[in-house]
Amino acid sequence: MFEFKIIRNNEGEITAIETGLTGHALLDMPKLNKGCAFTHEEREEFGLTGFLPHQVETLDQQVARMYVQYHEHHTNLGKNIYLNVLHDYNETLFYKLASQHLEEMLPIVYTPTVGEAVQRFSLEHRKPRGLYISYPDRDKMESILDNRLPPEVDLTVVTDGEAVLGIGDQGIGGINISNAKLMVYTLCGGINPHRVLPIQLDVGTNNPHLLNDPMYLGWRHERISGQQFDDFIDMFVTAITKKFPDIFLHWEDMGRDNARRLLSRYRDKICTINGDMQGTGVVGLATVLAGVIASGMPLRNHRIVIMGAGTAGVGIADQVYGAMRRAGLSEEEARARFWLLDRPGLLTQNASLLPFQAPYARKEDVSDWELRDPHYIGLYDVVKNVRPTILIGCSTVAGAFSEEIVKMMASHVDRPIIMPLSNPTSLAEAKPDDLLKWTRGKAIIAAGSPFPDVMYDNKWYRIAQSNNALAFPGIGLGAVAVKAKHVTDEMLWAATQALSECSPVNQDKMAPILPKLSETKMVSFKVALAVAEQARKEGLAQIPEQANLKDVIKKASWEPRYYPYRKA
């Protein structure tokens, strides 16, 4: 464990950092290293004289230097590696640089570029970051957790790497996702990076390329499953909550057979969310609600088709379904507004479905449809017969929203809401410039990946990005700030409403339906406040009743800056 102590004044403001580390040990600690920003006095006190060039720089001067170096890399993967190496060297400088250029760098450290970094994990292995808990070491779990770097942990992102983005089973390469998510928590939500822990649960891999790759660094074994897997997860949850009873545990990229089951098992026992289901569901619903405002049609009247019925697609459906129930629809009426498709086509009661898909199975109301293929109900058939007002893609099938399908949808709807959400960019169901062209500028668009502004009919359109970075950092910040016992559906609904209220369409129906990513700090604070207030209403906040929630959240937030150092 690294050795440092934060010194605060009577108002709780940080005034100094106290550490016993000196020389190379201090420079090698990314959470403490200031590089050439160490003053001459600090260099003398901590045995750094001669290790650094003479000039003392400010943090802003260092950022300017790093930004020039960043642009010397000409590929997104090269830039991703550069930023991660900087993070390994000096965390404060990394966060200051990335926060000043957030819209430019978030797609580099997070989606879509992190997908490429995950695939090359064993070839680009760098300084270890986080914990790897492998199945063969399951009996050493508590001692592994004792080896963690931060002494106190508020939040952890945990993955087993089975369902990474749209690229599937990547084994221990999933640790890059855990690290990227935690970067986003800090960049977009202000979560203290000194109190977070990325964890990779190495339970094997079913990816034949990795199993046969001599350079693969993980446990070369087929994935454990069934009771073995459940027992291992239970051991892990028991061990980490024993160490940190108030921890916020974020599950990420777990396999579709396990994700919902694990969430259902633990959500009433610990403070936890599943990022793919609930984080994506919140931002997906907020995007839909903003699109509904722009469309001018009440939510209860919309017909929703979702292509991709995995954890993300069904997670969005669940959130929108809940909103429809709140709008006054009965359970039967609300379910009837959804048509979900997966690999075998439209979900019907005759199909073999996973438990979380079953509520959305269509009944006999599709029996009289005219189909292109009598044995398969595809997207074309659904759009032709349903005439949807909202079309959402979570399928990772590039180009699935074809010109024929989009034009057919637009012929029946004044302002169709179309959301190709699959990541990375290469797997998006449609490109925004095509959607605007095919709908003659009528489409209300949100993409899952970053796309450049589009010129159509002599007008520029900013393409809203339905990025869960607008949701989960605020949810985590609010839960951590009040030490919430659980994350409830009502807390997620509060987060959704707060995010929806930040949409530019509330002022102009022709505006993009989501805020810019550069505004995520503002958005996250509003989401965090809504989550904290709801946690307090439900009796789940473990802070004094008289505490001012805005002050509590501000105190829990972290900003990248250097502090004076003094010797322990």
Query: pLDDT tens, 311-323?
Result: 889 999 999 999 9
Which structure tokens are listed for 130?
């986080």
Q: From CA 354, how far away is CA 338, in angstroms rounded?
A: 17
Q: From CA 321, how far away is CA 284, in angstroms rounded?
A: 12
Is 192 among the annotated ligand-binding positions? no
| Identical fold, 58-255 and 284-466 | yes
Helix or strand (DSSP H, E) at 15: strand 14-19
CA atoms within 13 A on the CB side of 204: 12
Q: Judge whether 169 and 163 are in contact, CB under 8 Å.
A: yes
Residues marked active site are found at: 110, 181
Is 10 among the annotated ligand-binding positions? no
Query: pLDDT tens, 221-278?
Result: 999 999 999 999 999 999 999 999 999 999 999 998 899 899 999 999 999 999 988 9
Helix or strand (DSSP H, E) at 199: strand 196-202
Domain boundaries, the chain: 58-255, 284-466
Is 423 among the annotated ligand-binding positions? yes
From residue 459, how far is each of 103, 291, 464, 506 by CA, in Å?
A: 22, 20, 16, 21
Q: Give residue 171's Cα distance to chain centre.
A: 19
Mean pLDDT of 101-113: 92
58-255 CATH choice from 1.10.340.70, 3.40.630.30, 3.40.50.10380, 3.40.630.10: 3.40.50.10380
Look-up: residue for tokens 């095919």? 438
Is 519 among the annotated ligand-binding positions? no
Mean pLDDT of 368-375: 86
447: left (phi over 0), alpha (psi -120 to 50) or beta: beta
Name the superfamily (CATH) of residues 284-466: NAD(P)-binding Rossmann-like Domain (3.40.50.720)
Query: pLDDT tens, 465-489?
Result: 999 999 999 999 999 999 999 999 9
* Averaged pLDDT of the chain: 93
Global confidence as pTM: 0.92
Mean pLDDT of 68-85: 95
Is 274 among the annotated ligand-binding positions? no
Least confident of 99-113, 203-217, 290-304, 350-364: 350-364
Task: Kindly indicate the confidence band of residue 207, based on its pLDDT and cuts at 50, 70 and 90.
Answer: very high
Task: Kindly indicate the confidence band of residue 1, based on its pLDDT and cuts at 50, 70 and 90.
Answer: very low
Give me the percent of the chain exceeding a pLDDT of 70: 99
Q: Judge whether 285 and 323 are in contact, CB under 8 Å.
A: yes
Q: CA nearest 276: which of 160, 441, 152, 109? A: 160
Tell me the pairing of strands 14-19 and 4-8.
Answer: antiparallel
